[in-house]
Amino acid sequence: MIGVKDFSSISAAALEDSRRSLSARVPALSSRIVQDLSESCFSYLRSALEVPRLYRRTNKEVPTTASSYVDSALRPFHQLQSGHQDKLKPAVVRQWLEGALSESTHKYYETVSDVLHSVKKMEESLKRLKQARKTNPANPSGSSSGGGGMSDDDKIRLQLALDVEYLGEQIQKMGLQTKDIKSFPALAQLVAAATDQATAEQQP
């Protein structure tokens, strides 16, 4: 009997040590999962860099829907929710989703900001060229953007705004709040300000 009691005591101690060891590794494991999800997501969100190429001098129609890269970026999160919801606690899944989305959205914010800044610089450069042609009609150089309709630069701004709006909608469909995703509120304000400015400049 003494041997059995000793064995039980040793087994309980071993199990407790194992539990503590596993618990100590949970933060590192969670951090790695968040990092992997974030990197996978941003590998698609960085496609925002390609938006100007799609609209500049292409006569592409005014955008009305979000770019496909947004759905691709969110696929890992949908897979996590649908494939492991019966194995993981909802609070854990939520923590991973919010953490990964916050990291990838912050990088996305920086990317969109760079694109909009580049678009603004290009727009100002073209305006200076137009002014130069007006003061020097003999100079045939430069390209005409045509009269009327939405400019290529404004199409780019609108496409990015649609992409960000759709991203926010999908975040909410995952049961999250956009205000809990770091940098998303700032991202939404960034594209809204850009489109508002473009609209104001188009008005006579």
Does a structural domain hold residue 7?
no
Task: Report pTM.
Answer: 0.78
The angle subtended at Cα 68 by Cα 65 and Cα 71, nearest 5°, is: 105
Look at residues 158, 44, 159, 162 and name the one whose alpha carbon lies nearest to residue 101: 44
CATH number (domain holding residue 117): 1.10.357
Number of domains in the chain: 1
Any domain includes 10: no
Query: Do residues 92 and 167 touch, judged by C-beta distance below 8 A?
Result: no
Domain span at residue 192 reads 29-202
Residue 70, pLDDT score: 98
Q: Return the pLDDT at 19.
A: 52
Residue 5 belongs to some domain of the structure: no
Residue 17 located in a structural domain: no
- The pLDDT value recorded for residue 129 is 80
Evaluate whether residue 1 is within a structural domain.
Answer: no
Using the Cα atoms of residue 167, residue 171, residue 173 and residue 179 in order, give the sign of their dihedral: negative
Q: Are 99 and 183 in contact (CB under 8 A)?
A: no
Residue 23 covered by a domain: no
Specify if 92 maps to a domain: yes
For residue 45 the two structure tokens come to 């969100």
Per-residue pLDDT 10s for the chain (204 aa) are 444 455 455 566 565 555 555 555 556 788 899 999 999 999 999 999 999 999 998 999 999 999 999 999 999 999 998 877 777 888 999 999 999 999 999 999 999 999 999 999 988 887 778 777 776 655 444 333 444 588 999 999 999 999 999 999 999 999 999 999 999 999 999 999 988 876 666 555
- Helix 184-202, helix 152-173: angle, nearest 10: 150
Query: Per the domain annotation, does 24 fall within a domain?
Result: no
The dihedral built from the CA positions of residue 167, 172, 176 and 180, taken in this order, carries a sign that is positive
Query: What pLDDT is recorded for position 124?
Result: 84
